Amino acid sequence: MSDTALAAVRAPVEHGFAHLKNWRVLRKVRTDPKWATALVRAMLVLTNREVSR
């Protein structure tokens, strides 16, 4: 895979992680990883819904 193709694949993932770091609620999550995963998924759905408006 070329560097350009790799960069194109990585960019959305890096942007996603950057958004996750901005969500303050995730800084204090000290719970079961399954629950945290469900929380992140719900937040992503809400974020995508807001962005698509």
Report the 3 state secondary structure along the chain: CCHHHHHHHHHHHHHHHHHHHHCHHHHHCCCCHHHHHHHHHHHHHHHHHHHCC
Does the pLDDT value for residue 53 go beyond 70?
Answer: no
pLDDT of residue 13: 76
In whole angstroms, give the CA distance from residue 50 to residue 53.
6
Does residue 10 register a pLDDT over 80?
Answer: yes
Amino acid identity, position 2: S
pLDDT, one tens digit per residue, over 19-41 is 777 777 677 777 777 888 888 88
Residue 8's pLDDT band (cuts 50, 70, 90) = confident
Looking up tokens 């995963």 gives 37
Collapsed DSSP state (helix, strand, coil) of residue 37: helix
Please report the pLDDT score of residue 51 as a whole number.
66
